[in-house]
């Protein structure tokens, strides 16, 4: 049976530009296979969380799965082993007795509850290693057929090409993002999903690989930072959670703002998940920041916004830099205007110059 992959290809093309389309891609996979859900998780379980694509029902189940994963052991390692060797695998190959499988706690208490009782995993080569596309079938669905395998072999190269293209575009966007900071008092540190530093972008816009966390902040702060970084990494990307730090170093004031990688730069196959913007404040800027904090009641995120605005960044640029929606930046600026008792952007920048 021939399958029409036109819609899937169109959605994959969109996904290379906009990571939110991976959910729609998984919905189409669900339809093509006649499945009950599909998920595209990283192979490394440490990377899993809200950073993955999935059909709506699978994403709903994922909310339940994340806390359950600590108490329910996932027995499907054997399925993944076959998948990595051959390119695909179903759990019927590891658990041929379906009645016995249904009594395994992970299936009984989680998968079967959502009618995801039969699983087909598909190996996909991505720029961040092999990932399994998991297709979940109803509890009473018959075993995988030759037609299913033909569909697997048809969609694998489409997914792999889309992942490659998404990576190329994303790396270009990260380079463009780095140029926002060229010639400023800020540098950017990029972190992977394990909270390890991948590289940093210096004040000249140059990318330096494998820098050390110690160059971001003092050791006594960095230990606390490592723990709080995970809060940012695992938070809902749409909620724009951020963490801020201030400290003195060599008589200079240092501000560090930690955010998730801005949505416009993301794709699911990249190891980079968050960034820290480190800004060195000379004595003048330190006084300005203290005045904004003490006299006008601005928060650290609001001060960072004013600082970016005063350095020539537009609200649209600030939205990208701070991983915010443009509407959120406009709302934040409106609140800043009220606190600072100014009539708009021009007056705010003029106030910052005066204080």
- pTM, 2 dp: 0.74
pLDDT of residue 39: 94
Q: Which of the pair, 351 or 99, is modelled with greater confidence?
A: 99
6-167 and 182-263+271-278 in the same fold: yes
Asked if 35 and 151 touch (Cβ cutoff 8 Å), the reply is: no
Q: Please compute the mean of the pLDDT values over residues 93-122 and round it to a whole number.
A: 95
Which residues neighbour 138 within 8 Å (Cβ) at sequence distance 6 or greater?
A: 35, 36, 115, 116, 117, 118
Please tell me the distance from the alpha carbon of residue 75 to that of residue 95, in angstroms, as a whole number.
10
pLDDT in tens, 124-149: 998 878 899 999 999 999 999 999 99
Alpha helices in 235-325 (DSSP H): 283-294, 300-310, 315-321
Tell me which CATH code domain 182-263+271-278 carries: 3.30.450.20
User: How many angstroms separate the Cα of 160 from the Cα of each of 167, 257, 263, 308?
Assistant: 11, 35, 22, 38
| Domain spanning 6-167, CATH architecture | 2-Layer Sandwich (3.30)
Name the band, by pLDDT with cuts 50, 70 and 90, for residue 202: confident
User: Above pLDDT 90, what percent of the chain?
Assistant: 38
Task: Tell the residue number behind the tokens 């972190």, with chain if given.
Answer: 191
Lowest mean pLDDT across 46-50, 215-219, 235-239: 46-50
Residue 260 contacts residue 241 (beta carbons within 8 Å): yes
List all residues 6 or more positions away from 268 whose beta carbon is below 8 Å from its beta carbon: 19, 22, 40, 42, 51, 52, 53, 166
Asked if residue 57 lies in contact with residue 241, where contact means CB atoms within 8 angstroms, the answer is no
Just give the CATH number of 282-355.
1.10.10.10
How is the chain split into domains, by residue range? 6-167, 182-263+271-278, 282-355
What single DSSP character describes residue 343? Answer: S
- Say yes or no to pLDDT of 247 above 90: no
């Amino acid at each position: 049976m021939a399958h029409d992959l036109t819609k899937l290809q169109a959605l994959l093309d969109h996904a290379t530009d906009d990571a939110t389309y991976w959910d729609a891609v998984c919905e189409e996979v669900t339809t093509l296979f006649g499945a009950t859900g599909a998920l595209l998780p990283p192979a490394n379980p440490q990377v899993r969380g809200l950073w993955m694509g999935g059909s709506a029902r699978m994403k709903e189940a994922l909310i339940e799965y994340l806390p359950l994963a600590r108490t329910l052991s996932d027995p499907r390692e054997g399925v993944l082993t076959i998948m990595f060797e051959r390119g695909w695998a179903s759990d019927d190959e590891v658990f041929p007795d379906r009645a016995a499988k249904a009594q395994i706690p992970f299936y009984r208490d989680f998968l079967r509850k959502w009618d995801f009782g039969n699983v087909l995993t598909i190996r996909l080569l991505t720029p961040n290693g092999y990932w399994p596309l998991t297709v979940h079938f109803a509890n009473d669905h018959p075993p995988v057929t030759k037609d299913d395998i033909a569909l697997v072999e048809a969609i694998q190269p489409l997914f792999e090409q889309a992942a490659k293209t998404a990576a190329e575009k994303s790396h270009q966007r990260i380079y463009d993002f780095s140029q926002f900071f060229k010639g400023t008092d800020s540098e950017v540190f990029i972190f992977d999903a394990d909270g390890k530093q991948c590289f940093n972008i210096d004040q000249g816009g140059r990318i330096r690989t494998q820098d050390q966390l110690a160059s971001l902040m003092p050791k006594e702060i960095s230990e606390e930072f490592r723990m709080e970084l995970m809060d940012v990494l695992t938070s809902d990307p749409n909620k724009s959670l951020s963490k801020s730090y201030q400290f003195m170093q060599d008589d200079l004031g240092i501000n560090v703002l930690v955010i998730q990688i801005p949505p416009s730069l993301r794709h699911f196959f990249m190891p980079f998940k968050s960034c820290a913007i480190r800004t060195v404040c000379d004595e003048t800027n330190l006084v300005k920041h203290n005045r904004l904090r003490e006299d006008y009641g601005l928060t650290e995120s609001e001060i960072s916004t004013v600082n970016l605005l005063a350095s020539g960044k537009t609200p649209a640029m600030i939205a990208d830099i701070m991983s915010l929606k443009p509407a959120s930046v406009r709302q934040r600026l409106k609140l800043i205007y009220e606190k600072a008792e100014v009539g708009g952007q021009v007056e705010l920048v003029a106030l910052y110059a005066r204080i």
